[in-house]
Amino acid sequence: MKKVITYGTFDLIHVGHVNLLRRAKELGDYLIVGLSTDNFNKNKNKTAYYTFEDRKIILESIQYVDLVIAESNWKQKTRDIRTYDVDLFVMGDDWKGSFDFLKETCEVVYLPRTTGISTSCVKKRISKT
Ligand code: C2G
C-alpha cells in the first residue's frame, strides 16, 4: 500500500484544497493529512475561521482523506513520514523546493496549485457582501 502525506490549514475548504487532496490520493492508496493546529497557524501568521476540531471533522468527511493528524510544528514531517511509513510527500507548488530535504526520507512531489481560488480571497469576497 502506497502511503501519501500532505500538510496544511485547509480552512474554509474550497475546490483548490479538494483538487490537491484528490490528486495526492491518486498518486497512492492511502492519504494522511497533517492538519495545522490553531497554535501552529499563529506560527504561520494565519488565523483560521474554523477551529482545528471543525477543520478535522470536515477533512475526515472528504472521500480522498484516510487519516488526519495534527501538524503542530515545522519539524515533525520527517518523524511523521517514518512513524506512518509514508512513501510520498505531496504539497502544492507554492511550496516548491521548501521541503526538498524530505527527499532523503521519501519521494517529494509538488502539484500545480488551482488558480483563482484561495481561502484569503474567499474571506475578502464574503466580507464585501
Ligand atoms: N492549494 C492548492 N490550490 C489552492 C490553494 C491551496 O493547491 N488554490 C494547496 C496548497 O498548495 C497546499 C494545500 O492546498 O498544498 C493546503 O493549503 P493551505 O491550507 O493554504 O496550507 P498552507 O497554509 O500552505 O500550509 O507545513 C506545510 C503547511 O502547513 C502548509
Q: Residues 91-128: pLDDT tens digits?
A: 999 999 999 999 999 999 999 999 999 999 999 999 99
Give the model's pLDDT for residue 129: 85
Let me know: does 4 contact 106? Beta carbons within 8 Å: no
Alpha helices in 27-118 (DSSP H): 38-43, 52-60, 77-83
Per-residue pLDDT band for 87 (boundaries 50, 70, 90) equals: very high
- Return the ligand 1 atom nearest residue 77 CA: 26
Candidates 2, 42, 44, 103; catalytic one: 44
Instruction: Give the Cα separation of 52 and 49 in Å (integer).
Output: 10
Q: Is 46 a catalytic residue?
A: yes
Matching residue, cell 509514508: 86
Q: 63-79: per-residue pLDDT in tens?
A: 999 999 999 999 999 99
Find the farthest-apart pair of alpha carbons in the chain and give their distance in angstroms, rounded: 48
Q: Is 3 a catalytic residue?
A: no
